[in-house]
Each structure stands twice: as structure tokens, then as C-alpha cells.
Amino acid sequence: MRSRQRRLTAPRTSLHSSSKRNIRTSRAFAAVSNLGRPNLLMGRTQKNKSLIRKLLLVSLALVVSVGYGSSTPFKPNAGPSILVLGDSITWGTEYFAKAQSLIASDAQWKTVVIDGQYSRRVAFPTPNLSTRMSGVKSFLKLATSGLKVDAVIVALGSNDVAIETKESSYEIVIRDLLKTIGNVPVTWLTVNRRDTPAIAKRSVLFNTVLVRLAPEYPNLVIEDWYTAIAKNPKWMAFDKVHLTRTGYGIRADLYRSLAKSLYDRYIIATTPATTTTTTITTTTVATTVPAATTTLPTETTTIPATTVAP
């Protein structure tokens, strides 16, 4: 009986120790397998932090581009001057793509001023005390500061279509700015804002008014930015108002191209017309006609003697 009990208990002891070993082994495997998890989790955490950091930088850049403004410095009366007058899109074009340096690198314009301000409008159809939010007042302020503008790129209207809805209001502000700028070459970019269907329609309306008024201003040329964006929607940021980094680069290149053509127009407008005087010399040739001497032969008539009969 005792031997049987020993034989019976022996397997139990064996099973018990085996199970302990299995448990120990499984724990060991678990411990070994868990050795890689902290590194894996740490790697994922670092990737997530990096992604979050990039998203924060992009968001910050977008917030800054929407909510900031600046004007590149200039020296008063330093030669031929061009002004790019715009809103936050113009500010972003300078911040992300260095538009001022691009234009200046062509060594045509002595002074290049990029003036972009968030929420800036063309002008206010009704009285308003804000200066930096008005293209008209900002232009006058720059003039007071000593900037003698010889050509202007106007990149305004996006904030007007977000607030004003009437065609008559667009006409008022467009005329106001063109009158303020005066008789210098101007290129005006059409508006492209699509954040809501209503605003998108008003962008088209604003552009229509601009085109309609253009024949009244011989110094005005319109650049169709609206169509360019329609063909390349990836240039626009997610808010359907501002641009991507690529879009800002394209916009900066466009400013540079427009500045070149404006310089040609400036040269033509300021070069005095050349008057060509043709002097016709008339030479009088004296003609001496020799006196005509006519010798008439002497006519001798012999009359025969007449004999009279006695």
C-alpha cells in the first residue's frame, strides 16, 4: 500500500513541479518579451511627439499668417519704388517665400516694400477709424512716411467679400483705392476665397466689378489669380482662404513676374516722348540763260529800172 501510495504520489509531485517550471518558464518568456516593449513604446511616443510638434508648428504658422501683419523697411525717396499692398496672404508670401528678396534680386526696383496685414480690406465704404485694416489708409500712411510709390501690386479684396455683400460697395472701395494711388502703373490680383459657397460667389462678383471698372483706368492691369487657383486647388490651405507653402512660393514668383512687367510700364510712362524734327534743305540752283542773239539777214531787194517810153 505504501509503495502504491508512493507511486501514486510521485506523479503528483512530478506534475506539481512541472507546472511550477511551466509557470516560471512562461514568466521568464514574458519577462524577456517585455524587454522590447519599453523601447517600442518609447519609439512610438517619440514619433507621436514629433508628429504633434510638426502639427503645432504648422498650426502656429497658419495662426500667425492669419493674425499678423508687417511691412518691409524702406529708405524714403531712394529711387524707383514698388509697393505690394495686401492682406495676410501677402504677409504669408513674404514670411514663407521671401517675396521681397526675390523682387529685389532682379535689381530693377531700388525700393521694394511688401506690406501685408491680416484682415485688411481695400477700404471701408462707411467711416471707420482703423488705419492698418484699410488699404487706402495704409497707402496714405506709407506716403506720409516718405515712400514715393512708382508702381503698385494690389492684393486686396478677400476680406471685403467676407463682410460686404453689395456690388455697389465693391465699386466704392475699388475706386477709392485707385484714386488714392493715383496715376502710376497698377496691377490688381483677382480675389479667390472659397471658405463658404456664399463668399465664393461674392469673390466672383468682386472680380466682375473690377473687370468692369478697368477700362476707366488706363494705368490698371488685372491679374487673374482666381483662375490660377481654380486650376491648382492644391495651392490652397485647408481653410480655403490662405495658401500652402507651395502656394506661397507660387505667389511669390508671381509677384516677381508682375514687378518686372510693372518696371517696363514704369519706364515707358516716365520716358519723355521723343520728337523727331526733319529739316528739309532747299537748294536753289541759279540758272543763267545766255542772251539769245538773233541776226536777221539783211534782205536786199533790187528793183529793176523802169524805162518809160517817150
At 176, the amino acid letter reads D
In this prediction, residue 75 has a pLDDT band, given cuts at 50, 70 and 90, of confident
* DSSP tag of 277: -
What mean pLDDT value characterizes the chain? 79
Average pLDDT over residues 276-290: 51
Those residues with Cβ within 8 angstroms of residue 58's Cβ, 6 or more apart along the chain or in another chain: none
Query: Can you tell me which residue has the cell 524734327?
Result: 277
Cβ atoms of 236 and 203 within 8 Å: the answer is: no
More confident residue, 247 or 30: 247
Instruction: Give the H or E element holding residue 3.
Output: helix 2-34
Backbone angles phi, psi at 93, to 5 degrees: -65, -35
Those residues with Cβ within 8 angstroms of residue 276's Cβ, 6 or more apart along the chain or in another chain: none
Q: Specify the pLDDT at position 274.
A: 67
**How many helices (DSSP H) and strands (DSSP E) are in the chain?**
10, 6
More confident residue, 287 or 153: 153
Cβ atoms of 239 and 159 within 8 Å: the answer is: no
The CA distances from residue 148 to 83, 133, 166, 228, in Å, are: 9, 21, 33, 31
At 27, the amino acid letter reads R
Dist. CA 256–CA 232, nearest whole Å: 19
Those residues with Cβ within 8 angstroms of residue 148's Cβ, 6 or more apart along the chain or in another chain: 76, 77, 81
Considering only CA atoms, which of 144, 123, 147, 143 is closest in space to residue 133? 123
Q: Which CATH class is domain 67-270?
A: alpha beta
Q: What are the boundaries of each domain within the chain?
A: 37-66, 67-270
Q: Does residue 120 surpass a pLDDT of 60?
A: yes
Kindly report, residue by residue over 76-90, the tens digit of the pLDDT: 767 899 999 999 999
Q: Specify the pLDDT at position 130.
A: 82
Q: Does residue 273 surpass a pLDDT of 60?
A: yes
Instruction: Say whether pTM exceeds 0.85.
Output: no
Those residues with Cβ within 8 angstroms of residue 95's Cβ, 6 or more apart along the chain or in another chain: 64, 65, 70, 248
The CA distances from residue 212 to 174, 209, 215, 226, 229, in Å, are: 11, 5, 7, 16, 21
Three-state secondary structure call for residue 246: helix
